[in-house]
Amino acid sequence: MALPFFPKTATTIRERCRADAATKLRLRYAPYYLAMEAQAGVNVRLNGRELIMLASNDYLGLTTHPRVVEAARAALLKWGTSPTGARSSNGSRAYHLELEEKLASFLGREACHVHAAGYLSCLSAVAAFAQKGDLVFADKNIHSCLWDGLRLSTATVERFSHNNPDDFRTVAMASDIASSPKMLVIEGVYSMEGHIARLPEIMAVARAYQCFTVLDDAHGFGVLGRGGRGTADHFNLNADVDIVCGSLSKSLASTGGFVAGSRELIEFLRTHGKQTIFSAALSPSQAAAASAALDVLQTEPQHLIRLWQNTKKYTAMLKSLGLDTWGSETPAVPIVLGTKERAYYFWQALQEKGVFTVMSIAPAVPVGKDLIRTAISAQHSDEHLDRIADAMAYAVKKI
Ligand SMILES: Cc1ncc(COP(=O)(O)O)c(C=O)c1O
């Protein structure tokens, strides 16, 4: 059965929305926006059923860590629920500065700025620095927040094939590189594919073209590098990257985002980034949770060790079942099914067996790459992994 997810034509916006709603109603299975009734680490409850969460970005499993929970609670009691405004006006607080100093020092950067969402941080990291007339080279598969930042910047954008330094060089050579400032926008770990950026080769090209480099390390921070210092650190290329941005909602068990770089660059962001200037600041409890999670990351290496043990075991199991993991090298592991129908039935079979994953279909992924996105956490126990293996074997049979 073909599953028509997106209505193609409409003459008014209301008509488009009505057609979309009718499609969803007819299908009665839209696998998005499912609200869990309970969550305890990687155990969640959906429609009264206990499921193993295999799709969260809580890589280190710190959302229930006692130190993290207690820090968030204490901040809430001390500061209340909200900073009540933007950092640029009335919303700057001591806890923002404390978190920024900790993040900057962990990343070996002079300065850092935190936002209320990773999306805002990464968008701002691009939009604040690139301007009309600049030339930006971007990996085709970067996250939508970076594309939005590029659109807002009105800079000229040239895309190169995903994680392909040779194509980056070809595109750069064919571009009008005359005298305009140039930027490179990439991710450290690509969240959908689980690929690690080929940073040494990519930076060699970036250096040749004097590109200012923005690296979104939402999925590399806390996962790669010395003690989780991220992708640039993993390759010992910290000095080559001008701006590292990312999210506090993955390894740091919170919500919010950060942009880190030299003091001069972060001051520029603070006075030129519209999202930085005009959006309310990160809340006290979320800042405190991220700050405590960063302490845990630095003092309890067992979480990162466990994450990688789990990742290796899980990826090997998927391969033994003949599943296509798109060459993932990280805890973000896609299972490529190739069509939205196969992806849907695979997703459904996993859930039948008590495993929650996320379906990602075109246009969120390239055509023919419709997939199930899974992500491993340090909190998955051996028993979880065994149950996940059984569910995968069942889903393979089912499709
Ligand atoms: C690569 C990347 N950048 C930025 C973001 C935005 O982060 P947040 O969800 O914390 O707003 C995400 C979120 O999934 C992401 O995957």
The CATH number of the domain holding residue 329 is 3.90.1150.10
- What's the confidence (pLDDT) of residue 241? 98
Tokens of 207: 């250096």
CA 118 to centroid of ligand 1, rounded, Å: 5
Structural domain total, the chain: 2
> Which range marks the domain in which residue 93 is found?
66-299
Choose one of 141, 189, 191 to mutate for the ligand 1 pocket test, by most ligand atoms within 8 angstroms of C-beta.
191
Q: Give the integer Cα–Cα distance in Å for 91 and 270.
A: 13
- Domain check: are 285 and 258 in the same one? yes
* CATH code, 237: 3.40.640.10
In a domain, 288, yes or no: yes
Q: Is 376 helix (H, G, I), strand (E, B) or coil?
A: coil
Among the candidates 299, 316, 342, a domain finishes at: 299
Task: Please give the span between the terminal C-alpha atoms of the chain, in angstroms, as a whole number.
Answer: 13
- Domain check: are 167 and 228 in the same one? yes
Tokens 């930076």 belong to: 203
CB of 364 closer than 8 Å to CB of 27? no
- Which ligand 1 atom sits nearest the alpha carbon of residue 191? 16
Phi first, then psi: give them for residue 215, nearest 5 degrees. Answer: -115, 115
In a domain, 7, yes or no: no
- Domain check: are 315 and 263 in the same one? no
Report the run of H or E that residue 232 belongs to, with start and end. helix 231-234
Q: Which residues contact 236 (CB under 8 A, 6 or more apart)?
A: none
CB of 202 closer than 8 Å to CB of 184? yes
CB of 238 closer than 8 Å to CB of 232? yes
Looking at ligand 1, which residue's alpha carbon is closest to its atom 16?
Answer: 191
- Domain check: are 39 and 171 in the same one? no
- What's the confidence (pLDDT) of residue 9? 73
Q: What is the reported pTM?
A: 0.95
Task: Give the DSSP per-residue string, 153-169.
Answer: HT-EEEEE-TT-HHHHH
**Site residues for ligand 1, CB cut-off 6 Å:** 117-119, 122, 143, 145, 187, 191, 216, 218-219, 247, 249, 257
Q: Give me the average pLDDT of each 10-residue run along the chain (399 residues).
A: 56 86 65 91 96 97 98 98 97 98 98 98 98 96 97 97 98 86 97 96 97 98 98 98 98 98 98 96 98 98 98 98 97 96 95 96 88 97 98 96
In a domain, 5, yes or no: no
- Domain check: are 34 and 165 in the same one? no
CA 397 to centroid of ligand 1, rounded, Å: 33
- What's the confidence (pLDDT) of residue 364? 83
- Domain check: are 249 and 357 in the same one? no
- Domain check: are 104 and 235 in the same one? yes
Choose one of 63, 247, 259 to mutate for the ligand 1 pocket test, by most ligand atoms within 8 angstroms of C-beta.
247
- What's the confidence (pLDDT) of residue 2? 46
**Which residues share a beta bridge with 215?**
186, 244
- What's the confidence (pLDDT) of residue 29? 58
**Per-residue pLDDT tens for 315-344?**
999 999 999 999 999 999 999 999 989 999
**Which residues share a beta bridge with 185?**
138, 214
In a domain, 227, yes or no: yes
- Domain check: are 117 and 219 in the same one? yes
CA 214 to centroid of ligand 1, rounded, Å: 14
- Domain check: are 184 and 93 in the same one? yes
* Residue 196 DSSP symbol: B
Among the candidates 299, 329, 349, a domain finishes at: 299
Looking at ligand 1, which residue's alpha carbon is closest to its atom 15?
Answer: 218
- Domain check: are 388 and 256 in the same one? no
β-bridge pairing 49-53 and 111-115: unpaired
- Domain check: are 200 and 349 in the same one? no
Amino acid (one-letter) located at 372 = I
Q: Is 53 helix (H, G, I), strand (E, B) or coil?
A: strand
Among the candidates 278, 299, 320, a domain finishes at: 299
User: CA quadruple 361, 16, 157, 280: dihedral positive or negative?
Assistant: negative
- Domain check: are 213 and 111 in the same one? yes
Choose one of 143, 146, 214, 223 to mutate for the ligand 1 pocket test, by most ligand atoms within 8 angstroms of C-beta.
143
